[in-house]
Amino acid sequence: MSISGHTIITGGSSGIGYALAEKLVRRGGRVSLIARDPARLQRARDDLLALGAAQNTVLVVAADVMDPRRLDQAVTECEDVAGEAGALIASAGIVCPKFFHEQPVEDFDRQIRTNLLGVANSVRAVYTRMRLRGHGRIMIVSSGAAFVGIPGYAAYCASKAALRAFASSLRLEAKPAGIQVSICFPPDTDTPQLQAELPLRPEAARLFMGGSKPWPADKVAERILAGMEAGKDEVNFGLLLTVLARTSPALEPLLQSLHLWRTAKTKTTDTNLTDGSQ
């Protein structure tokens, strides 16, 4: 069943959230974008209107997903203008790569709060309304990092993995009430957030993750919307992540052993090179 009507997107001012908004607008849908930065939201709205969208089909409201009271107000503002929201896409999230022993407590905690509690706050802001109406769709944007631990990404992986359990539990509560709860696990995606993240990515993480090319944001958005329309519980991307989604408990120990072997081999090679240069 196609997505029509009014969709609320948190983190919708850029990246995957914006790509989703663009696709929905091109289909003639109404979108409300919620994010922290009013200036970025306005630029996103201007870009969407430049595609030919009508003024009343694109609404932007500034709110932080970590402020549940303001988020609830933002959803009310969106529905007062654009009508009841038939769908929520919870796309807001952050990443701050750094080894655990080097990362400030605030940066670690901020990732957990934003990526997990921020999603819960976003869902909570629409959930009661959807239950009263007896229908609705919720898509949670997690990450392929939910399936395996990655060096330098302890907080990020933990927060994204927790979203899978959250979605699974919520689905059992929501389905009898007529609400579809889905979750997706995108790979590295070509977004402003990735461009800011890459210079901070530890070499150990690069070694573990390999050199796969990031997906274009519009292709990720296309897959997410197709999954929502098909009523899928989980949406995966590419062969490796699809396999990991189904077999990560068995494969992760092998991936970890391989990474540790590569790391030890690299250190040995570096030591030999250093010794030979003296």
Instruction: Compute the average pLDDT of residues 22-48.
Output: 95
| Dist. CA 80–CA 50, nearest whole Å | 24
- Look at residue 244 in the predicted model and tell me its pLDDT: 83
Q: Which residues are catalytic?
A: 142, 156, 160
Provide the pairing of β-strand 58-62 with 30-35. Answer: parallel
Res. 247 pLDDT band, cuts 50 70 90? confident
Residue 258 pLDDT > 80: no
Q: Is residue 239 part of a domain?
A: yes
91 in a structural domain: yes
Domain span holding position 36: 6-249
Q: Is residue 273 part of a domain?
A: no
Q: What is the mean pLDDT of residues 37-52?
A: 94
pLDDT confidence of residue 273: 43
Confidence tier at 153 by pLDDT (50, 70, 90): very high
**Predicted local confidence at residue 278, as pLDDT:** 38
**Domain count of the fold of the chain:** 1
Q: Is residue 200 part of a domain?
A: yes
Of 115, 40, 130, 33, whose CA–CA distance to 85 is shortest?
130
Whether residue 104 lies inside any domain: the answer is yes
Q: Which of 109-118, 168-177, 243-252 has the lowest mean pLDDT?
A: 243-252
pLDDT recorded at residue 1: 62
Does residue 271 sit within a domain?
no
Lowest mean pLDDT among 151-155, 166-170, 256-260: 256-260
The fraction of the chain above a pLDDT of 90, given in percent, is: 77
173-209 pLDDT, tens digit each: 999 999 999 999 999 999 999 999 999 999 999 888 8
Residue 268: pLDDT band by 50, 70, 90 thresholds?
low
Domain presence at residue 168: yes
pLDDT digits (tens, 9 = 90+) for 103-144: 999 999 999 999 999 999 999 999 999 999 999 999 999 999
Over range 243-263, report the average pLDDT: 75
- Whether residue 256 lies inside any domain: the answer is no
CATH number, residue 118: 3.40.50.720
pTM, rounded to two decimals: 0.89
pLDDT band of residue 17 (cuts 50, 70, 90) is very high
